[in-house]
Amino acid sequence: MRILVIGSGLAGINAALLASEFADVTLLSKGPLEQTNTQRAQGGIAAAIAALDDPRLHAEDTIRAGAGLCDPDAVHALTSDGPEAIERLLRLGVEFDRDPSGMLALATEGAHSTPRVLHAGGDQTGVHIQSALGDRLAESGVDVRTDVTVGELIVEAGRCVGATTEEDGRETLLADAVLLATGGAGALYRTTTNPESATGDGIALAFRAGAVVRDPEFVQFHPTALVGGDGAFLISEALRGEGAVLLDEAGNRFMTRVHPDAELAPRSVVARAITETMRRDCADHVMLDISHMDADYLRGRFPGVYRGALDRGKDITAGPIPVAPAAHYHMGGVYTDVDGRTTVSGLYAAGECASTGAHGANRVASNSLLEAAVFSSRAIEAIRREAGPAQAPDGEARSLRWRLEGSAPSMETLQGTMNELVGITRSGAGLRSALDRFGEWSAEPTTSSQPSLPLATLTARLITEAALQRAESRGSHLRLDFAEEDPAWRRHSLWQLARE
């Protein structure tokens, strides 16, 4: 059996290692092996491993945060497989932090009602996971190819049988099963915590192959990313947990006027308030200040954030630093069932590119690494069993008859449009202007040499169409013209390419 895995983050490498036990495996990544969201993860990975914890409690916390759109089966699969996923990561060599007695150290994070977040190297969890899995991959028999962009999936008689790559002429790779593990879509935005490779390619690839895409409108924006330098560097919520305050241009705290929990209000509330303050002050940032705390304590408590900010010319111990919301995580994605099966035979998806239904409209911190680990394992088990495709999800998919050719003139133009018109707060007028631009772009042949640009443009267009259709505010999706949650919209949005 031949299996093609597209992506080198936690979902991709974990899947490739498991698949190599019974199949010939090729793993592709668009950039260097570690240019992934996985590598950037800071806080940790959640799982109910404590004596007083229970996967059912973890499931309840997850469903409560999901703004009415979690799929209970997916959440239960996530949380009940969680402890085994952690054991597997330990076996693969991930060294999670331990307390002085040698027990795995567990932290508490927003929405988790009990300590259940494992971390490594303090706030360096992703680096540790990526490097341990990378080491195991190097020892395995997997054929690994980096700096290769998949531009199209091959579908014959309704079954996905491989993929073609874009660089150095088109190479065709045939396989009995293809797993998409292409990660998030944050880099569709100018301001993002994601690496440049995170342009939502898997969603466009699957959509073009005829698979159902679910809830693409749900993009989570992290409230506090450092502004300036190379990309937007994440300043963890934990700083606000320790007492960091947000200040406007005049140096005044503004969150105290917005929410009783002030800086510790839910992510979407803080992000929205920052955006409104920036607009009022005509600024591209607000300030975050934790410098009133002891400098040695801060250096010890937040080594990664301290160093990362310092590398970008800012010292969290010395004074306020400029921050702004940044595109961070994509809840929407390729629809899969609990076994990672898409609606196209032979095509599977796992990790951030998939919509398993585990996150609903709002992701709980530290559940995404777990999702990547759990569902990539389940997908490989389904491939081993040679299970057929997933049943179509409940509800009617909106069939789109689109020209798939054409793309934005450049990635920068696309990112500018997404930031300006499809960002953290949205309006019907803005979304319609964005769709006008997509219409103009699709009329022109693609001229850019950026291999992912047609895929990125298509995923961005899906996000925009879905954001316009959802005439309410829910979870991470905030409409200025429909500010409240609408019970009639307590349903998923489903998208599929119209068959000719």
Ligand X SMILES: Cc1cc2nc3c(=O)[nH]c(=O)nc-3n(C[C@H](O)[C@H](O)[C@H](O)COP(=O)(O)OP(=O)(O)OC[C@H]3O[C@@H](n4cnc5c(N)ncnc54)[C@H](O)[C@@H]3O)c2cc1C
Residue type, 58: H
Smallest distance from ligand X to CB 225, Å: 8
Please report whether residue 237 would count as binding ligand X according to CB under 6 A.
no
Quick one: tokens of 248? Answer: 């406007």
Please report whether residue 188 would count as binding ligand X according to CB under 6 A.
no
378 catalytically annotated? no
Residue pair 463/214 in contact (Cβ under 8 Å)? The answer is: no
Please report whether residue 226 would count as binding ligand X according to CB under 6 A.
no
CA distances to 129, 165, 240, 427 from 344, in Å: 30, 20, 44, 34
Residue pair 363/35 in contact (Cβ under 8 Å)? The answer is: no
DSSP state for residue 78 in the 8-state scheme: H
- For residue 347, what are the β-bridge partners? 178
Please report whether residue 255 would count as binding ligand X according to CB under 6 A.
no
Residue pair 174/162 in contact (Cβ under 8 Å)? The answer is: yes
Please report whether residue 37 would count as binding ligand X according to CB under 6 A.
yes
* 3-class DSSP assignment, residue 297: helix
Among 19, 372, 379, 458, binds ligand X (CB under 6 A): 372
Smallest distance from ligand X to CB 474, Å: 20
Among 18, 25, 45, 238, binds ligand X (CB under 6 A): 45
| Stretch of residues binding ligand X (CB under 6 A), selected from 31-39, 310-318, 333-341, 405-413 | 31-39
Please report whether residue 231 would count as binding ligand X according to CB under 6 A.
no
40 vs 426 by CB, closer to ligand X: 40
Question: Distance between CA atoms of 377 and 308, rounded to whole angstroms?
Answer: 32
Neighbours of 469 (CB within 10 A): 13
Please report whether residue 125 would count as binding ligand X according to CB under 6 A.
yes
77 vs 431 by CB, closer to ligand X: 77
**Phi, psi dihedral angles at 481 (to 5 degrees):** -90, -10
The interface with ligand X within residues 328-347 (CB under 6 A) comprises 328-329
164 vs 469 by CB, closer to ligand X: 164
Please report whether residue 38 would count as binding ligand X according to CB under 6 A.
yes
Among 3, 4, 5, 9, binds ligand X (CB under 6 A): 9
307 vs 490 by CB, closer to ligand X: 307
| Nearby residues of 239 by Cβ (< 8 Å), 6 or more positions away | 224, 288, 290, 302, 305, 316
The footprint of ligand X on this chain (CB under 6 A) covers a number of residues equal to: 45
Please report whether residue 81 would count as binding ligand X according to CB under 6 A.
no
Please report whether residue 53 would count as binding ligand X according to CB under 6 A.
no
Length of the chain: 500
* 3-class DSSP assignment, residue 197: coil
Which pairs from 168-174 meet CB under 8 Å and 24+ separation?
173/4, 173/26, 173/28, 174/2
53 vs 201 by CB, closer to ligand X: 201
Beta strands in 29-79 (DSSP E): 45-46
Question: Distance between CA atoms of 388 and 199, rounded to whole angstroms?
Answer: 29
Smallest distance from ligand X to CB 192, Å: 8
10 vs 382 by CB, closer to ligand X: 10
Query: What is the DSSP secondary-structure string of 234-294?
Result: E--HHHHHTT-EEE-TTS-B-GGGT-TTGGGS-HHHHHHHHHHHHHHHT-S-EEEE-TTS-
Closest CB to ligand X: residue number: 9
Please report whether residue 31 would count as binding ligand X according to CB under 6 A.
yes
Please report whether residue 183 would count as binding ligand X according to CB under 6 A.
yes
Among 136, 190, 214, 267, the one annotated catalytic: 267
210 vs 351 by CB, closer to ligand X: 351
Smallest distance from ligand X to CB 250, Å: 30
Core vs surface per residue 126-139: b (16+ CB within 10 A) or e:
bbbbbbbbbebbee
Among 79, 149, 417, 459, binds ligand X (CB under 6 A): 149
What amino acid positions are annotated as catalytic residues? Answer: 267
Sites of contact with ligand X (CB under 6 A):
6-12, 28-31, 35-38, 40-45, 125-126, 149-150, 181-184, 193-194, 197-198, 201, 234, 328-329, 351-352, 366-369, 372, 452
